[in-house]
Chains A and B, each alone.
Chain A
Amino acid sequence: MAEGSKRRIHFSKLYSFSCLKSPFRDGHSQIGNKGYSRVVHCNDPDNPEAVQLNYGDNYVSTTKYTAFNFIPKSLFEQFRRVANIYFLVVACVSFSPLAPFTALSIVAPLLVVIGVTMAKEAVEDWRRRKQDIEANNRKVHVYGNSYTFVETRWKKLRVGDIIKVYKDEYFPADLFLLSSSYEDGVCYVDTMNLDGETNLKLKQALGATIHLHDEKSLQKFRAVVKCEDPNENLYSFIGTLHYDGRGYDLSLQQILLRDSKLKNTDYIYGVVIFTGHDTKVMQNSTDPPSKRSKIERKMDKIIYILFSTLILISFIGSVFFGVETKRDTSVGRYRRWYLHPDNTTVFYDPRRATLASILHFLTALMLYGYLIPISLYVSIEIVKVLQSIFINHDQEMYYEETDRPARARTSNLNEELGQVDTVLCDKTGTLTCNSMEFVKCSIAGIPYGRGMAEVEKALARRGKDEESEVDGGSFLGQNNEALDSRHPIKGFNFEDERMMNGQWVNEPCPDFIQKFFRVLAICHTAIPDVDKESGEISYEAESPDEAAFVIAARELGFEFFARTQTSISLHELNYESGKKVDRVYQLLHVLEFSSSRKRMSVIVKNEENQLLLLCKGADSVMFERLSQHGRQFEAETRDHIKRYAEAGLRTLVITYRELDEEEYKLWDKDFSKFKSTLTEDRDALVDAAADKMEKDLILLGATAVEDRLQKGVPECIKKLARAKIKLWVLTGDKMETAVNIGYACSLLRQDMKQIVITLDSPDILSLEKQGDKEALAKASLESINMQIREGISQIKSAKESSNTSKGSSPGFGLIIDGKSLDYSLNKMLARSFFELAVNCASVICCRSSPKQKARVTRLVKMGTGKTTLSIGDGANDVGMLQEADIGVGISGAEGMQAVMASDFAIAQFRFLERLLLVHGHWCYRRISMMICYFFYKNIAFGFTLFWFEAYASFSGQAAYNDWYMSFYNVFFTSLPVIALGVFDQDVSAKLCLKYPFLYLEGVEDILFSWPRILGWMLNGVLSSLMIFFLTTNSVLNQAFRIDGKVVDFEILGVTMYTCVVWTVNCQMALSINYFTWIQHFFIWGSIAFWYVFVLIYGYLSPAISTTAYRVFVEACAPSVLYWLVTLLVVVCVLLPYFSYRSFQSRFLPMYHDIIQRNQVEGLEIGLSDDELPKQSQGKLLHLRERLKQREL
């Protein structure tokens, strides 16, 4: 045990900064108080005291409902919608004599609609439950009463159980680490599922427990852990272990959280302290954000309009009804005597006409309720779920490498995808791969690395003829991408024959090169992972940069292959002997990287007993730390670094220093002392001490790693730009890097004018040095204000000149840095900044913090009032994703946090193109068409009732049989709409991508604009008018068959209803563009179903079918007139719409009309005109003008 604790001290000394930092907050005193009351009896879950505490088992349920609360809870959810409440009230009132229909016929459709919605909820919940069952029944080894480990299921774990977890297994609950397969009780943990960080975390058991190594020693182990109550904070833990009569403080260092994974460690023993829903990950679980789309919000307004219409026509009806009823009696005489006005109920009493009229108003509200589409919500929900399934199943959005398809995490926002105006985009990991590749280095003033960075390629491209690029467009580009993205080694893209295969020994300064790569191989915190079979080594590194360095060192002959707590071993190529030798470096200290230090060092002792400090860091902090004689290559190196930065590469300066024994010992003492202090300023002291050591460095050179652009990014951005989607890049990078990346991904183009807003002017910098904060703030504000105004005036003048010359303005790119952004976002400037920004084609914000990202998103969202989409991959993008109307998470290397906060998850940036231009466009189109059509069909139907009322003295008698009506929304018209919402395509996916401007229909909200909505409604009213009057005039009052029978109430109902079903479905057929067998089946099937229904219903006993009894077979079907009327009405009603569409699609075509037409006519003229690059159009004009001049 003594040995163990020694190791521990030694170890913690090694990782001095963040890794093993113990919490300074002294929470331990609070144990036992409120919020810190948990008591865990380790290895003794059957202890009566433990049983009394009654902590839950490890059963986890993530379902929304349980078997018991499903019905009340889901019903409650249902009736939060206004429309549903209305229908519920109607259903209740329908049992009173007020109701115009039988109660059952009102209740039935409501039940169907509610039932379908609930079934949908139930299915979704069932899926969650299946996942739960899978998780709950996973196997784990638990220490049983027989003093051996026995296999059990996850859900059976209890608080206090000791369990054994093997390598690459997930922890089933929150554990307190007792010991591990390592002697000193450390283990490595992958917390990807929790916080999305991919690096391994080191956990270490307490010294007091690491001897508990086998089943035997566990036999007598009894201890009590007292700790905090369950909470959602992943980054703190407070507790004490009472063991052997002593108390030990526990920290997060000993806690293994559920859903994280054991790595690089054979097994661990741990005590369960939180189970099931008490675990931190479960406490953290949140539902995906709930956002509503613009269309849906607009839809609510339409529903309100319909409600007002409903109230209005009901009111009109009841006024007329009141008047008519009143007239029924006058001075002892009764007008309509057949109604028995002398002996009547309150509903028709002419003496109390006002009351009758008020009651009638209620009846009318029910009668015209068909104006409100009862099945709209449920249909939209079904449609959206199906749409999301299509998104999830799109093979074009599946990423082979990470095995990830696209995922729509919420189905609420599908149509919003088709209306995106501004995309706010993170850079690292979103536009780029976030897998660093070592591409270049500069050693001893000589640049190495022949490969071309992406940005350099772009720069080279810019010089070339643009036409070829535009023509061949995406296809050529993608092929090239595909070809040269095949690298044999991940993270390494270094090509230089001078260096490879050991050739570097022949270079001018091989000793520098050797030292350089030694630094790369030693100065890091990566962990090697040797594949036992192949002997290949892979590395688990904290950051991809670091992995790239270690890999580069390996490729050039400095293979790092083993790490112990105190040493690092390399296979090394000795340039003098040319042989591979193993060298072991004794690791004394790791001075870790932090964002404030911007550097990292290790202190090692080599085999020659030389003490070395190896340091790598950012150029901004490193050059000032060079010693006088270490500056030999400073000028060259600076120059190279600048060039690398321009090429969009990340650079680090590599240095070393030899220490002498005395100095080191002295420093070591100080350093250890500072580290062991437990005061608030410990960090500062440790920093200062480290600072002392990291000086007088000798420059070796610089590295350049490239964060490669993801495949297809420039093409995607180009497409989005052509769809008039504005792209803002919000990045934490330096301005130069950001601008260069901007060029590389064609966000900025050569013909664009750049407007740069920065605070890097000399005046400001000098003020900054003086430290006068107020003056600085004022000066900064002024300077920003000025720069913004200048930008605006530039744009204005450019616009004016373009207006007069009829040429197109080149477009502007705005580049702003983080500090300026801070000032620009404050109230005074936000407006003008915004005005500037929206007039620029692309905006790049560099050096921005996560909070700024969210604020910018907010500004754009509020400012434009249009749809914003944020896309990002890291935890730093979460704010931005949640703030935007749509958050798209890239499920890339940086873990799942962004994905968890997102509405859609895709694996690669380029899939955004398909997500927006194809799925977004389609979904927008489908949903907006669907809603318009829904209102149309209900108005067309509902108003026929009203017209009929006008001829029935508004008495509240419905024109149709009750069941025809209640099936209207559910059977005769619902399926075609759903088919429209799920399957309709105006143009194919290929054309959507080919003609991105089609997307503008969504951005400008053409398909769901008020004129269009009202147009559809008006069309509905017109249809109902035509249906009613054409039918009545044709069939009344003469005989309607050869046998002299006349049309009565029942026959008119069937005839009119037939016309309604036909027209509404034919209108659908006319307005969709895409007929698969599904559409045909649904549309014609719905019509056929009406006939089948009326046939079957008519054959039921007259007690059930009442007015529908044999009407169709006996009366309608044999009548020629009936069929002729149907034909006439259908054609007449569709004629206005058809003529309008034929006219409009030809003479005022919308974008999709043009594309469709060209597709059918095989014409490319119109579009190739459009595709003609600006330059060549300009050239043509120029030539013509010249010719004219010559002629003159």
Chain B
Amino acid sequence: MEPNNLCTVERRGRVHVITLTGPGEHRLGPALLGAIRSAVAAASAGAGALVLAAEGKFFSNGFDQAWARTVPLHLQATMEDAFRALVADLLALPVPTVAAVTGHAAAAGCALALAHDAVFMRGSRGFLYMSEVDAGIKIIDFFAEIMREKVPDAVARRDLLLRGDRMPAAEAVRRGMVDVAVEGGVEDVVNAAVAEAEKLAAREWDGEVVAEIRKAAWPKLWSKVKDYSAAAQVAVRPRL
């Protein structure tokens, strides 16, 4: 696959690794979201598992507000819709998914990490941060649903969303949001995530079953994003 200037795709063994490139904040604007969606779609073809990682200090610092300022209100929704579609694609993916949170993950960036089956996070640097309360931004329903389903503990959810706690990996592990805190640098986190993904791929699960079980495990979230998935967009049934 041709690397673009937004994300690269590589195959390591059975693992399809998507890396958000460059030292910037990897703000989730329509262009980057589109690139990630294409990369995720490619994972369905022959990979055993998927890892999403990033270069630099940030995993992702959230939506691209700068872009949003340049477009009228009705077009801002396209960024949100693209994110919803990405979440739908991840939920419907026929392979296990692992987020390698190599740096700060804030707002939509944090939600994106949590939308994966497993989350590995850099131990020594970076934090999860739901910045909305500090930024004065309300949280729309499907977004809140990601947090409700993936952070079921009421106290953790309150501290993350209502107090805007910046959670380093160790605390996130303790509170059940992150699976493993990995010591070392960015590459160590990616390697650990890939190793985990390889183990999952080795189970050789039936992909359709993986997807169905995942959608059934997070049913409320799935119901709120399913109409946006790639499959939903493609399937057009003529009414007779």
Task: Tell whether A pairs with B.
Answer: no
List B residues at the A interface (Cβ < 8 Å).
none
